[in-house]
């Protein structure tokens, strides 16, 4: 479907790409192959999001908890991160996509860190889709980071206690300046937020398609976007 087919589209979509492991098991493959197939889905989803002229897409690629997976699985994900940026960066930059990494990059191996920093640097002035890639990301850690920045600003006299409001926090999140999440999609039927975008999802609509991430198609995505368009968002108000 194209943009004109939708009566209403979200400005910001967030996705938890869940089910790669189960997909691999179902196909009697190792988990790395599940993640590899998941990257194929991701490519299509980014392309479609850009075609639809949605402002922001945030994807959960690697959580702070994912370091606890087996050495082999973490290594496979690290390799996929390198492969993804090397193969996609030219096309994304050409399409005017701005890439932001949400999460602390310091803990990544040097090669990955360099690729991530370079992707952000190269696309920093792009004005099309904002693609937020959550890597070593945790929603609570993001809020702790914001709290520390606010405290520093207060201590340094740059900010007064009385002026602190919701915007003060939003401005210190990785997503500063972007709209709140309108639609959160988690594939594979799991219905949890798993420490993802806790502050930004305050008024998000949630959809939990049962399909495993590697099987998630552009048609499934369109269906989710249509379902979003059919939801009545009240933001706490009574609409009569």
**Chain positions contacting ligand FPP, by CB under 6 A:** 17-22, 35, 38-39, 42, 61, 66, 77, 80-81, 84, 133, 188
* Residues sharing a CB contact under 8 Å with residue 146, sequence separation 6 or more, in sequence order: 169, 172, 173
Residue 153 a catalytic site member: no
How many whole angstroms from its chain centre is CA 131?
Answer: 7
- What is the nearest approach in angstroms of ligand FPP to the Cβ of residue 68? 11
Question: Which residue's Cβ lies closest to ligand FPP?
Answer: 21
- What is the nearest approach in angstroms of ligand FPP to the Cβ of residue 106? 18
| Dihedral angle sign, alpha carbons of residues 67, 72, 73, 79 | positive
Cβ closer to ligand FPP: 179 or 189? Answer: 189
Identify the active-site residue in 18, 20, 50, 132: 18
Residue 68 a catalytic site member: no
Tokens found for residue 18? 């869940």
Identify the active-site residue in 30, 66, 126, 195: 66
Q: In whole angstroms, how far apart are CA 172 and each of 64, 153, 192, 195?
A: 19, 11, 25, 17
How many whole angstroms from its chain centre is CA 218?
Answer: 17
- What is the nearest approach in angstroms of ligand FPP to the Cβ of residue 133? 5
Cβ closer to ligand FPP: 29 or 164? Answer: 29
Best CA proximity match to 110, nearest among 67, 134, 81:
81
- What is the nearest approach in angstroms of ligand FPP to the Cβ of residue 20? 4
Query: Active-site residue numbers?
Result: 18, 66
């Amino acid at each position: 479907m194209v943009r004109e087919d939708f009566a209403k589209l979200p400005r910001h979509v967030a996705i938890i790409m869940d089910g790669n492991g189960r997909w691999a098991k179902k196909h009697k493959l190792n988990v790395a192959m599940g993640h590899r197939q998941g990257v194929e889905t991701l490519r299509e989803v980014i392309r479609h999001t850009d075609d639809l002229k949605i402002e922001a897409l945030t994807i959960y690629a690697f959580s702070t908890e994912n370091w606890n997976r087996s050495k082999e699985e973490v290594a496979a994900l690290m390799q996929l991160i390198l492969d993804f940026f090397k193969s996609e960066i030219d096309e994304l930059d050409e399409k005017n996509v701005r890439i932001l990494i949400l999460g602390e990059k310091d803990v990544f191996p040097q090669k990955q860190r360099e690729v991530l920093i370079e992707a952000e640097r190269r696309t920093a002035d792009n004005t099309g889709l904002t693609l937020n890639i959550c890597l070593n990301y945790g929603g609570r850690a993001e809020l702790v980071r914001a709290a520390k920045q606010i405290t520093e600003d207060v201590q340094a006299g740059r900010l007064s206690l009385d002026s602190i409001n919701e915007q003060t926090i939003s401005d210190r999140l990785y997503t500063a300046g972007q709209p709140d999440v309108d639609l959160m999609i988690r594939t594979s039927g799991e219905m949890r937020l798993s420490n993802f975008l806790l502050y930004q999802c305050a008024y998000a609509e949630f959809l939990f398609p049962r399909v495993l991430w590697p099987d998630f198609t552009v048609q499934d995505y369109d269906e989710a976007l249509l379902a979003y368009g059919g939801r009545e968002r009240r933001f706490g108000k009574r609409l009569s």
